Copies of this chain bind each other. A is one copy, B any other.
Amino acid sequence: MGAGSDGTVTVLARGEGLAAWRQIADGLSADIEAGRLAAGSQLPTEAALAARFGVNRHTVRRALAALAERGLVRATQGRGTFVETPRLAYPIGRRTRFSEIVSKAGREAWGDLLGAAAVPADAATAEALAIAPGSAMLELQTIHRADDTPLSTARTCLPLPRFDGFDRAYAALGSLTRAYAEFGIADYTRLSTRIGARPAAADEAARLDLAPGRVLIVLTSVNVDAAGVPIQATRSLFAADRVELVVEG
């Protein structure tokens, strides 16, 4: 659609059943996907875009709203509208390691422990972990970032006599894989995975630095050790704007 910062007016097809805002959105979206508008860069102001396309600023706003809904751009009052970084491809399968995935994408990974507590197991988690309902388990709240951008937050439950002190190991090492190594578990695999999606609650949005109501991908999974014994039940919440799951064949 061209850079068009030289005062030229990009002509739209008017009166042919294609709404102006949709043409503008499609054009900008193509610019983003083709890399003509770089990730992280600032879009021209709404006023500038309105001038370029010869439309009212309201029409530009409608187009930008459509892009924001698709997660392509993010607008901040007083600052401007910026191109979102492309979604990180997050492979899920029998062997998934957050730290490996992110570093392979050339970003730095870190998991922060938000909180940990010993709690009685609810029915669903108890069944997943193959323990008696009500028996003790360790519940961890974590958040996972790539280059300081939060990608996901998770609630992880581990059976308790076995993993007493796991929270301290995790807090120090910042990675499940490394914390498991401290407990003598060199390898573990994913037993089951379920995927859903829903809007973020206010507190979840705050944790992930998202606008409230933005979409979360909910990934519920159970991991087992080499002997097939369940060692963790996790519910991860991914910011759908920043992550795309890839199922390994």
Contacts and interface: CB of A to CB of B under 8 A. Distances in A.
Contact of A192 (B87, B241, B249): B249
Interface in A99-157: 122-124
A195 B66 CA distance: 20
A225 interface: no
A30 interface: yes
Nearest to A18: B120
Given A94-B249, A201-B69, A89 B194 contact: yes
A215 B192 contact: no
Given A26-B122, A30-B123, A123-B33, A92 B197 contact: no
Nearest to A215: B197
A220 to B, nearest CB: 9
A193 B29 CA distance: 22
A141 to B, nearest CB: 14
Contacts of A201: 66, 69
A196 B240 contact: yes
Contact of A247 (B29, B33, B193, B215): B193
Interface string A162-194: 000000000000000000000000000011111
Contacts of A244: 194-196
A95 to B, nearest CB: 11
A246 B194 contact: yes
Contacts of A93: 247
A198 interface: yes
A26 B93 CA distance: 32
A60 to B, nearest CB: 18
Interface string A63-100: 00010011100000000000000010100111000000
Given A199-B69, A215-B215, A194 B33 contact: no
B249 A198 contact: no
A245 B194 contact: yes
Residue of A93, A94, A215 with highest tally of chain B CB at under 10 A: A215
A47 to B, nearest CB: 24
Interface of A: 26, 29-30, 33, 66, 69-71, 87, 89, 92-94, 122-124, 190-199, 201, 215-217, 240-241, 244-247, 249
